Amino acid sequence: MISSDKLKKMYLEFFQKNGHKIIANASLVPENDPTALFISAGMHPLVPYLLGQPHPSGTKLVNVQKCLRTSDVDEVGDSFHLSFFEMLGNWSLGDYFKAESIPWSYEFLTSNEWLGIDKDRLSVTVFAGDEDASRDEESAGIWKSLGMPEERIYYLPKEDNWWGPAGATGPCGPDTEIFYDTGIEPCGAECKPGCSCGKYNEIWNNVFMEYNKTSDGRYELLEQKNVDTGMGVERTISVMQGKKNVYETEIFVPLIEKIKELAEVEEIPDEQEKSIRVVMDHTRAATFLLADGVVPRNIEQGYVLRRIIRGAIRHGRRMGIEREFLTELSLAVIGIYEADNPHLRKKEAFILNELRKESKKFNNTLIKGLRRFNRIADKKKEIDAKDAFLLYQSFGFPIEITVEIGKENNIPVDVPGFEEEMKKHQKVSSASADRKFGSGLADSQKETVKLHTATHILNEALRVILSKDIVQRGSNITHERLRFDFNFDRKMTEEEKRAVEDVVNQKIKQAIPVTQIETSLEEAKKIATQAVFGDRYGEKVTVYSIGDFSSELCSGPHVENTSELGHFRIVKERSISAGVRRIRAVLE
Ligand code: SER
């Protein structure tokens, strides 16, 4: 029976053998992409390259990518939903296309040298065509030539066989999806791949990225035709192992054992099945998020982490675990994943410390909050906006948790009212922050690219004017403004701000070419003055230079010449935490 470790190893080996280079497993927090909170697919960190920028490792890539999807976090606990999961992917950046991609997938799945899946168990779907793009007869033809019987090739519309997050701009295209027949009886005459009854489980998705969706909703053909495939590790092995759900695979065994020990039970009672699954899922997600530097906060990524940790604590309580337990469980997660993710062990002390702090905070208020919830529910049979806000403000209940408790008890919760209440209190609405960032691909608009180059100049200008010890602590760019965090222990004076602006505007006036070189990490460390190096061992990296003024390790994209930037202005400079300042600036 194939294990998850074996699947990952074989996948990388197969595509390496076929000329692919292994690329790093990127951080769960996207670099230079303000449109999404988390990496939610293996292709996500590759967007600039899918749009044509050369990738330092070439045109055929493969990896195992950690992903986090929070859009359906409330469904975690049913058979196949996980918020955190690993995705296997192989990519062609303007290299091979359908005629190589489909046969490779079929060979990997069915050859006895590789997964050896019974061919009769597989069926596929292809894009049926519409006014935006034509019917994918080419993929269907390739499947037929490989021996896939015609009756197991299904043509489905855009909502099933097209990839590119809804509403977002960026690279997208028709896909062909491969399904594994679990062997159970069809749910009816209409049952086919795409049906949710559990007979057909999707195991692989090959996207043929031929289009770029523009911000006015058009699909323009990309100059570079790409392939983007994705295979969910947990889902695929659970299907192949004949399990009914992802939690029955070997990945979760050490966690289940640990939870039984913590809850002091021999078996998990049926009514606690959902709770144990949520605890396992959320602990994995929290461990990996903390390892990537996210800390519990009330906004953005930190809010999602907080809600995940608090959700896990509440479900732990439901299982009778009253003491702090996340640190022990997180250690088990680190143990499972450390071989391929050495950064987990390196960050162990930090991860456990944050979990301990957050558990302490929430444990202090959880029981009282639950009591308050019950009192209100008994009396009013609903949680109105003010109640939900009180539970948030005084007892630390993220709105999603209040809603979940409401569902369990058939008590409606006024979520829109809660968000209004949040706004009134001048807080950033965590829920809407999450939604705003919920989907979307890298924002590659021209303005964003300009601001990205301006950020590099600003970074260096701060070192010239303030201190050579300035380092970047964070950066977030939209098409309207840049935001740059750096270490500095006091407010900048007006003169200093003007001086920094002057340096940046001078570099813009000098019309300096922006150049890029690809090199090893070791070389890059010698050349680049600035970089957030992360865990990219043994990989080729890109260094962007602005004349001899600035050199940064960075994945781009950037403008070609600083003269394209216009006029730089600092809008605001303020403190965001002890010793860290934030500049907001625009190009005009
Ligand atoms: N991007 C596609 C997916 O997430 C294939 O990798 O399914």
Residues 51 and 220 sit within 8 Å (Cβ to Cβ)? no
Nearest CA to ligand 1 atom 3: 230
What does the pLDDT read at residue 529?
A: 65
The CA 228 to ligand 1 mean position distance, Å, reads: 7
CATH number of the CATH domain containing 555: 3.30.980.10
Residues 101 and 211 in one domain: yes
Q: Domain total for the chain?
A: 3
Distance 87 CA to ligand 1 centre (A): 9
Residue 207 CA: nearest ligand 1 atom is 5
Residue 186 sits in the same domain as residue 306: no
Separation of CA 299 and ligand 1 centre (Å): 27
How many angstroms does the Cα of residue 184 sit away from the middle of ligand 1? 26
Count H helices and E strands in the chain, helices first: 19, 16
Instruction: Tell which one of 40, 49, 87 to mutate to probe ligand 1, the residue whose CB is within 8 A of the most ligand atoms.
Output: 87
314 with 279, same domain? yes
Ligand 1 centre to CA of 231 (Å) is 8
Q: How many residues would you count in the chain?
A: 588
Residue 34, pLDDT score = 67
Q: Which atom of ligand 1 is nearest to the CA of 41?
A: 4
Domain, as residue range, for 169: 4-243
Instruction: Report how far ligand 1's centroid is from the alpha carbon of 83 (Å).
Output: 15
| CA-based max dimension of the chain | 75
> Phi, psi (5° rounding) for residue 117?
-70, 140
CA–CA dist 46, 24 (Å, integer) = 11
Cα 44 to Cα 65: distance, rounded to the nearest angstrom: 10
State which of 15, 43, 176, 441 you would mutate to test the pocket of ligand 1, scoring each by most atoms of that ligand within 8 A of its C-beta.
Answer: 43
Among candidate residues 386, 411, 435, the one where a domain is terminated: 435
What pLDDT is stored for residue 440 in this prediction?
34
| 436 Cβ contact list (under 8 Å, min separation 6) | none
What is the 204 CA–ligand 1 centroid distance (Å)?
8
Q: Which of 402, 435, 468 finishes a domain?
A: 435
The whole-number pLDDT of residue 531 equals 56
User: With contact defined as beta carbons under 8 Å apart, do 380 and 412 qualify?
Assistant: no
**Cα radius of gyration (the chain):** 25
Based on the fold, state whether residues 215 and 360 are members of the same structural domain: no
> Dihedrals φ, ψ of 482, to 5°?
-110, 155
Q: Measured between alpha carbons, how far is 371 from 385 in angstroms, rounded to an integer?
A: 18
Same domain, 335 and 468: no
Query: Is 110 in the same domain as 76?
Result: yes
Burial per residue of 536-558, b for 16 or more beta-carbon CB atoms within 10 angstroms, e otherwise:
beeebbbbbbbeebbbbbbbbbb
Q: Clarify whether residues 209 and 115 are in a common domain.
A: yes
Cα-to-centroid distance, 89 and ligand 1 (Å): 8
Q: How far is the CA of 274 from the centre of ligand 1 (A)?
A: 27
Same domain, 262 and 232: no
Provide the CATH number for the domain around residue 85: 3.30.930.10
Q: Measured from the CA of 40, which atom of ligand 1 is nearest?
A: 4
State how beta strands 219-232 and 84-93 pair. Answer: antiparallel
Q: Which one of 66, 175, 211, 228 would you pick to mutate in the ligand 1 pocket, going by the greatest count of ligand atoms within 8 A of its CB?
A: 228
Distance CA 101, CA 92 (A): 9
Give the single-character DSSP code of 110: H
At 123, is the secondary structure helix, strand, or coil? strand
Question: 360, 356, 424: which is closest to 386 by C-alpha?
Answer: 424
Sign, CA dihedral 434-226-223-95, equals positive
Spatial separation of the C-alpha atoms in residues 305 and 308, rounded to whole Å: 5
Task: State the closest ligand 1 atom to the C-alpha of 230, by its place in the atom list counted from 1.
Answer: 6
Contacts of 254-263 with CB under 8 Å at 24 or more apart are 254/332, 254/335, 254/336, 255/280, 255/283, 255/329, 255/332, 255/333, 255/336, 256/280, 258/328, 258/329, 258/332, 259/319, 259/321, 259/329, 262/316, 262/321, 262/325, 262/328, 262/329, 263/319, 263/320, 263/321
Q: How far is 440 from 504, CA to CA, in rounded Å? A: 31
253-306 tens-digit pLDDT = 999 999 999 999 999 999 999 999 999 999 999 999 999 999 999 888 999 999
> Alpha-carbon torsion 577, 325, 27, 478, what sign?
negative
Co-location of 467 and 421 in the same domain: no
Q: Whose CA is nearest to atom 4 of ligand 1?
A: 41
Strand, coil or helix: what is 432? helix
Q: What is the pLDDT of residue 165?
A: 58
Q: What are phi and psi of 306, to 5 degrees?
A: -60, -45
**Pocket around ligand 1 at a 6 A CB cut-off:** 41-43, 89, 163, 205, 207, 228-230
Distance 555 CA to ligand 1 centre (A): 21
Entry pTM:
0.77
Q: Are residues 320 and 424 in the same domain?
A: yes
Categorise residue 534: left if φ over 0, alpha if ψ from -120 to 50, beta otherwise.
left
Last residue in a domain, options 435, 464, 487: 435
Q: Which residue has the tokens 């001078």?
A: 506
Name the residue of 46, 229, 236 whose CB sits within 8 Å of the most ligand 1 atoms, as the mutation to test its pocket: 229
> What parts of the chain have a pLDDT lower than 70?
32-35, 72-75, 77-79, 165-168, 426-445, 529-540
What's residue 434's pLDDT? 38
Same domain for 397 and 485: no
Torsion of CA 13, 16, 20, 23, to 10 degrees: 60
Instruction: For residues 415 and 445, state if they share a domain.
Output: no
42 CA from centroid of ligand 1 (Å) = 7
Which residue's C-alpha comes closest to atom 2 of ligand 1?
230
